[in-house]
Chain A
Amino acid sequence: MAKIIYAGEGCTGCKACSVACVHAHDRAFGLRATRIWVVREEPLTDYPVVCHHCDKPPCRDACPVGAITKRDDGLVVVNERTCIGCGACVEACPFGAMGMHPTKRVAINCDLCGGDPACVKFCPPRVLKLQVPEAVAQEQRVGG
């Protein structure tokens, strides 16, 4: 399945992806309710972190109430009504790509905005893509 892919270089650390993500979901501008994070470390490190929609999702396995499922279309989704906000999935994700909504207090992850992700649209340096990993690998084989 296609997911949000970062090419590995070119991120400027501006966090536009995070703000666009919050806006797409909440119609408000903020950072802490984001589902895509930017790691910004001195002096040269900037990169985004977002849900990989794993085939064997550790977040799903960690959830004590079965609120997280891997759908047939590949998406890992949180059922906000079932979620008890314990944070077990947040701890379990090896990428740190599961978050907790600051006001709703439920787990949140990338939902690909229904197919037209706001982060990809807004990224000023255009380094986020909605792509199938295998296609990225093909490109790398050709380009590398």
Chain B
Amino acid sequence: MSYPLGGYTGQILRVDLERKKTLAEPLPKELALNYLGGTGFAARILFDELRAGLDPLAPENRLIFATGPLTGTLWPTSGRWAAYAKAPLTGIWGEAHCGGFFGPELKYAGYDMLVIHGRAKGPVYLWIDDGTVEVRSAKDLLGRNTAETTDMVRERHGDREIEVACIGQAGERLVRFACIMNNYQDALGRTGLGAVMGSKNLKAVAVRGTRAVTVADDDKFMELVDDANQRVLKQSQAQQMMKYGTPLLVAYKSNIGELATRNHQTGLFEGADRLNADTIREKYYAKTRSCFVCAIQCKKVNRIRKGKYSGTISGGPEYEGIYALGTNCGIDDFGAVLKANQLCNLYGLDVISAGCVIAWLMECYQRGLVTRKQCDGLNLKWGNSDVMVTLIERIAFREGIGDLLAQGSVQAARKLGKGTERYVMHVKGMEISGQDGRTHRSAALTHAISVRGADHLRSLVTVDQLGYEDTAAKRYGKDKLPEICDPYGERYKALVVKDAEDTFAIRDSLIVCWYSCGWPPIFWMSDFAAASAAATGVKEFGDVKNMYRIAERICNLRRAFNVREGLSAKDDMIPERFTREPMPEGPGKGQVANLEVMLREYYRLRKWDADGKPTERTLTELGLADVAAELKRPRKR
């Protein structure tokens, strides 16, 4: 391979499922230089190739699997990859990231990105064997869960090391928050991209890559890799992550009164001790695993030895799973949480949305807005773990009340009416992740502005939540302390959220993991700039200013995608619970989020208008004049 830039393979694989045609096209150098990889590439392609108002389940939607210039190298956490499409859950920008091994394998097969068009006439899977690409029948895979599908594809091709990304029963049934699974427990979880695969009749994508990726300056790159690994291994919180994984956050959040409980009605959960990292380690821990070449090693496998779920062995849950399927449903039975998490992985459901839609129904039941009869006779009282597990199954198979919940909580509430809408904890149609803007003020802004809806991963700031004063001083200046680290103040929060969103746009384009970047705070923009320059040989990537410019270009383009769909400042909201209902108890008692003031400041920093839209000038300055022109075109609606 002789692509002029290192790190990339230099090829994009396009597959038209309708015509069963495949085409490997060269990666345009301009795309690499201006958009870096992953999220940047996808932003340009989805903006260019989709039209406003398109039904996300229509054949015209594109499904992109992307990698970046660091994917598949020895940079720690570089096993990440991502999928993109217009999202079935929200009807806006859809993006989901994943660990595991699929991303590196796709690159080793010779592709930076896979773009899937159209809809197959019957169930198919895609087989990518280096340069040989085939659309094959998946009739026998239909109805299989994600683990069975992975096993069957590997067996069929006689190779246990093939990487498989696939959907389960939920994706086949177009559940609006179906996920795509890779490697049994790694999920492209959010925004319902599994339903896009389902709508395309695409059960799985299997890859075997026997080639290799080279970087431009190998010596320099390996020097940076060694240094990065040392920094990870030495960092005390990274060491905690190695031991406990993300369940660490249960105790942190409990201590600061932000462990979202019973559909975010409070931040204190009485059963937190049964779900915290110490308890899990002591009673359930079975093994530590890791994504591709990762030094953080945060993946934990747990085993239930007693009780109803005895014999369950499964990876996870992460903190977000413990929140969504546990505390947010008032459940303190770890066995039930692990079981539900495992079922979500097998059926292919996003753990966060699945847990949140159940929590919403439980609150409606608490308030007498739904009857037991309406809910298949199930007793939806808080903490009923049997019902929670039952509902996961019903959602995945769209049975009974599960058919309603499978539409996502916003649509379900719209159908149910009677004031149930008020208790949907969402932004832009996506169920909220396990933070609370009342006690973690920057999280309120993060949830509000996130391009894919109520999401923490695109710009979550930890300097205020966890009090990283040294990190805050280093990044933003000592003069901004103490306000910048105050979790209950709005001051400087727009600044830190914008900076995180920019840095994470680069992180999501390289593509590397959120752990070691956002939390614990080890790497930031200058580290990414240095690694990108050494890997690709593009000197400009080494200039931090230029990296921020690329980041802003990506953020503006993703935002423009949503603006073209009709979104504006009115959609940058958070649930009223966070702005009107003071936190009822705990260290943050009495706190509410003042979103308005942070939003205004955020728009100003982004150089957008008061309605939250990128201005023509801002877009033009970033080299996006064509995007500005497209946004000006009258809509046919």
Contact = CB atoms under 8 A, between A and B. Distances in A.
B212 A13 contact: no
Contacts of A44: 286-287, 301, 313
B301 A14 contact: no
B289 A13 contact: yes
B209 A32 contact: yes
B288 A12 contact: yes
B212 A30 contact: yes
Contacts of A19: 72-74, 292-293
Contact of B212 (A16, A28, A42): A28
A30 B147 CA distance: 25
A16 B293 contact: yes
Contacts of A103: 210-211
12 contacts: A12-B297, A14-B290, A14-B294, A15-B293, A16-B293, A19-B73, A29-B215, A30-B209, A102-B210, A122-B293, A124-B293, A124-B294
B101 interface: yes
Interface in B69-113: 72-74, 76, 101, 104-105, 108
A41 to B, nearest CB: 8
A124 B212 contact: no
Interface residues of A, number: 27
B122 to A, nearest CB: 29
B225 to A, nearest CB: 9
A69 to B, nearest CB: 27
Contacts of B212: 22, 26, 28-30, 33
A3 to B, nearest CB: 23
A22 B218 CA distance: 13
A62 B229 CA distance: 41
A76 to B, nearest CB: 24
Contacts of A125: 288, 290, 297
A49 to B, nearest CB: 12
B214 interface: yes
B294 A32 contact: no
A45 to B, nearest CB: 9
B315 interface: yes
A13 B104 contact: no
Contacts of A20: 74
Given A30-B108, A42-B184, A43-B301, A14 B147 contact: no
A29 B286 CA distance: 31
Interface in B145-190: 147, 161, 184
Interface in A7-52: 10, 12-16, 19-20, 22-23, 26-33, 42-44, 46
A122 B74 contact: yes
B293 to A, nearest CB: 4
B289 A29 contact: no
Given A43-B315, A122-B74, A124-B295, A28 B289 contact: no
